[in-house]
Chains A and B, each alone.
Chain A
């Protein structure tokens, strides 16, 4: 289940017949469980039939973005208590004289300083002032706080003070009070980023826990006995019980499903390099699958606030169906402003007068106004035409040319954004396959691919519910880390191997509570390395926990780091001294996942429902309209064509050929004229 801002999508995999079913229902913001159950019931009417349930939610993210989280009291080291507000002090918009930092999740007055200091080497310099902790507890009680976070200097080197602080707080406030310790939320150095992570975890924790509790109870009530799982930002899943302990990991839970779907599709198609584009009403998310793996980063920024957690690298661009076309100083502009859901595009007939990308598509005939969103929201072509025509009059363009111009500019902007992301990673987009999903993705995908010189576009089945589908394709994942600052020359390989083994033991052991049988568990290890005196690190994979103890390890890992550096930055520095910074272990648990469903083979030609006039390149084309559900494996047809389904429309311009593969994906390639 993907519980999004507007709709809740459910994809069900039937283990008996290997088929998928899709349900959709409006999200019910007052009580999300209602919308979720409404979408679930029609496709899984018998609760006892549900053997596995995973869902993604934007609950935590929304409470963070809307600043509706808990009132958090932060305990921080005396002498460095205001670090959370100093926030390292960069100005990210350089020509903005009226610059304000991202709004922190708590005011300065809600930070209490506690004496006690650990050195860089992890030795206690000053004892923890437990009286100060007790005074903080008293303040918590009378101050109306609902959660605590603790962020002490060098807790990553020695957590004793943070652990003792929790004991004292529990003595004072009872066992139920919510406390995040920075070294548990993010066991890495850099006090601001670690504290920011702990504060965010406390901030969203009560919302997430309350929500998971309600959803769990509602499912129980309906007789669903299968454990509830939650998608994590990293692309793995956890049981709801674990997610309650580590709510931070659920922050990007929703959109990440799409990337994991892209990973699964990459495997199915045998194409390991994939660019995933998810285009909806207001935003356009791009993520990469490189060598069959999601591009995962160890740190993300949400609303400007850093979070140290493994997360799929999603780039969001302000471009969507709702992007508004406007005139500035006599020139055409498209976006980044969006008409949003209200008033929405002009064709929604909710008072919007500015033409949007959706209006332009409607004018061009690329959307079937009657079948939009499964017919729930009929679109008014006349209003779209009026808005586009008015803009065209200001720029000296006819309605149709204006509409095509709006789409062309929007496509060019999206394509350039993708290119810049790939250039920054040293990737050539031509070598990739473009996977398009979301409501508007399949409408624009072929145009984006053509701009980027990408040879193949894939539109998966259920493109509107692809994130939910992706969630069924992933595994239990637990990430552990430990600071390990050493110059390369000072390496004690046996020691490093010992630490990794311990991390593996903890990580694999934690899979007990996830219900993973022992034979389905495995651990992956990596160490973050950098050239001496640089700040940024790269994760270098290790073959197993014992590898650092093997002879010649330092040379080997230096070379391996050089290779990773070369591919990331385009050069390496052979022979230069390296530094180890962080050890990372990921524990995986395979609960078995849904197999791809093969669709029936075609017997005979594609059924064309009707033809309609659609504008491409300034000319009206008679265009075949096909229904997605009529397509069978092996079907082939040429553009111009529209493939219509409830949640999306795939636009195939002239000069492109579509092949339907055995899993029902549309593979679209350019054909030479």
Chain B
């Protein structure tokens, strides 16, 4: 059967809109802010062969890993396991790829008496019963990370399977919002089922299938044309995570080899580190997703993803490595090496895609967590923040300063006014970190300095990464400064830390967090003198630093106004 191009385009839009509707349903009905504010979720509509018909991701890192869940279920139980009215749940890291907090709910869609496809959604649950509330920074086995569900039927023929919900409720710390999120996710897959059924109803299953093949073919053609234009060759890049959070002395190498051959490219991760004791491992499905993000950033940033996407690429993962974790490897911080991997894709392909790539970014979430009891209210609190950093420059533009890392999507920082109202903390400085971006004809963006003062005793945990491999430059551009955290700067008890779990802070203690910048692009000697002058006037680059890295530029003019630098802490 062939379908005319108008119908194909209407079906293409309808499938994309169905995914948007699912996403809107999830955001609207979720109970916890991590879903409806941070968008830590994804939805997808799949065909009967587990290929994406439409999807909407809140986090890029979730790109295309829902099909792994329906496929794993089918491989385990056989195709006949799919029955109308059933809903399934899965959060196994080794199948789904991410940490146990990311729970996937999915179900089959039947139309015209046959299996027409699946709808699926994944969202972050605030707690799944790990040894510490919400998750731990120092788990060494998945058994410390919470309840692990393989593919498990949750609803059978429209009726809840007895006992499953109770099992979940008794294993998580916040059963009320968790069950709310679970029901929101079920509502989401129901919306998807309804929309897909409506589309099949309107156009007929045969027409939808024919249109689908044409839609996939269009996407594949677009992507193959881009890949085919990349010269054949073997492209490598590598970098290191600082450590696994347990053995702080041993860096963890991440090695990527991309082989381009005609209109196909293979991503080989097999030379990367063995899985680690600390929680920085992920399942292979998530490694595939990260490679897809790197690929998409360079090949098809504007093309909506579907079953035709990613056909020109494949991924090789070694089981037992940090990218192919085997039980019982810990997976709680599954994303730090994925962020690095995404930057490495651009580094590897830079020689042949100079106009599409960018230099590296600061690269990780840079987590600051404080907890204690607020003396103003007597209530316990936990403040959890990701910290912004600099992004890499590209051909024609400086990198952006103070931006969230790739893996966190569209997350915003916490306003000082909100933080200080809610928690017994004070921010004494929040601003750009001058000179932290790499120099270049186009310079990297700056990281930030965010300085906290504890107004009362509390406990601090940190996860700052990428000091061993800070953001690198490209084409002669310089590298960026790495992250630094100084506790009590200038005091006798000053100490530097990057990862720490449960450090006691006393009233008046100061924590100065500095994130890395992005890499520069092109030879700094080619940077326009006026641009250097503007950077000095904006306080982006200090005159001293400019004298070192841009000796050709005229720095006669000093900033007219004193730049807002880190002051002495206010108590």
Interface residues of A (CB under 8 A from B): 76, 78-83, 85-92, 94-101, 107-109, 111-113, 117, 119-120, 125-126, 139, 143, 153-154, 156, 189-193, 328-334, 395-397, 401, 404-405, 408-409, 412-413, 416-417, 419-420, 423-426, 485, 487, 533-536, 568-571, 573
Contacts and interface: CB of A to CB of B under 8 A. Distances in A.
A109 B561 contact: yes
B221 A330 contact: yes
B570 A80 contact: no
B37 A332 contact: no
B448 interface: yes
Contact of A570 (B28, B377, B394): B28
A571 B27 CA distance: 12
Contacts of B104: none
Interface in B400-434: 400-404, 406, 409-413, 415-418, 420-422, 426-432
Interface string B1-29: 00011101110111001001100110111
Nearest to A536: B37
A603 B445 CA distance: 73
Given A419-B21, A423-B21, A86 B432 contact: yes
Interface residues of B, number: 91
B6 A91 contact: no
Contact of A331 (B8, B59, B296): B8
Given A328-B218, A395-B5, A420-B20, 6 more contacts: A86-B401, A89-B388, A90-B411, A91-B404, A404-B6, A423-B191
A498 B10 CA distance: 57
B6 A408 contact: yes
Contacts of A113: 562, 564
Given A91-B403, A108-B540, A109-B538, A405 B17 contact: no
A91 B534 CA distance: 25
B214 interface: yes
A175 to B, nearest CB: 25
A622 B564 CA distance: 73
B537 A79 contact: no
B24 A332 contact: no
B421 A189 contact: yes
A79 B567 contact: yes
14 contacts: A86-B413, A89-B402, A89-B403, A99-B391, A119-B426, A191-B415, A333-B9, A409-B13, A413-B13, A419-B17, A420-B24, A485-B421, A568-B28, A573-B176
A329 B218 contact: yes
Contact of A90 (B9, B36, B412, B564): B412
B205 interface: no
B219 interface: yes
Given A113-B564, A570-B187, A420 B21 contact: yes
Contacts of B5: 331-332, 395-397, 405
B358 interface: yes
B26 to A, nearest CB: 10
A446 B429 CA distance: 57
B314 to A, nearest CB: 20
B10 A409 contact: yes
A100 B400 contact: yes
B327 interface: no
A312 B181 CA distance: 30
Interface in B190-236: 191, 214-215, 217-219, 221-222, 225
The 10 closest A-B pairs by CB, nearest first: A405-B6, A416-B17, A108-B538, A81-B564, A89-B388, A88-B412, A424-B24, A329-B218, A113-B564, A82-B431
B357 interface: yes
B90 interface: no
Contact of A569 (B29, B394, B415, B430): B29
Given A81-B564, A139-B560, A331-B8, A154 B400 contact: no
A311 B423 CA distance: 31
B6 A96 contact: no
Contact of B539 (A91, A109, A125): A109
Most buried by A among B10, B302, B562: B10
Contacts of A568: 28
Interface string B530-571: 000010011110000000000000000001111010010010
B560 A109 contact: yes
B123 interface: no
B298 interface: yes
Interface in B161-178: 176
A416 B388 CA distance: 35
Contacts of B250: none
B222 A80 contact: no
A396 B214 CA distance: 15
B422 to A, nearest CB: 8
Nearest to B297: A97
B300 to A, nearest CB: 8
Given A117-B570, A571-B180, A139 B388 contact: no
B33 A534 contact: yes
Contacts of A117: 570
B417 A423 contact: no
A196 to B, nearest CB: 12
A536 B28 CA distance: 12
A112 B184 CA distance: 47
A573 B178 CA distance: 12
Contacts of A408: 6, 10
B538 A86 contact: no
Contacts of B430: 79-80, 82-83, 86
Nearest to B4: A397
Which of A88, A94, A536 has the largest number of chain B CB atoms within 10 A? A94
B160 interface: no
B31 A88 contact: no
B374 to A, nearest CB: 11
Given A80-B430, A86-B448, A409-B6, A94 B410 contact: yes
Contacts of B346: 97
Contacts of B537: 109
B564 A329 contact: no
Contacts of A111: 564
Contacts of A328: 218, 222
A125 B431 CA distance: 20
Nearest to A530: B33
A371 B416 CA distance: 58
A419 B191 CA distance: 13
A43 to B, nearest CB: 43
B261 interface: no
Given A190-B418, A331-B214, A571 B397 contact: no
Most-contacted residue by chain B among A83, A98, A425, A487 (CB, 10 A): A98
B28 A424 contact: yes
A109 B412 contact: no
A570 B185 CA distance: 13
Given A95-B60, A190-B418, A571-B29, A108 B402 contact: no
B301 interface: yes
A78 B561 CA distance: 13
B70 to A, nearest CB: 24
Given A89-B404, A143-B560, A94 B60 contact: yes
A139 B570 contact: no
Interface string B71-103: 000000000000000000000000000000000
Contacts of A119: 420, 426
Given A112-B561, A120-B420, A190 B20 contact: no
A108 B221 CA distance: 44
A154 B417 CA distance: 6
A139 B561 contact: yes
Contacts of B36: 536, 569
B6 to A, nearest CB: 3
Contacts of A536: 33, 36-37
A78 B567 contact: yes
A95 B403 contact: no
Nearest to B387: A89
B409 A91 contact: yes
A586 B562 CA distance: 42
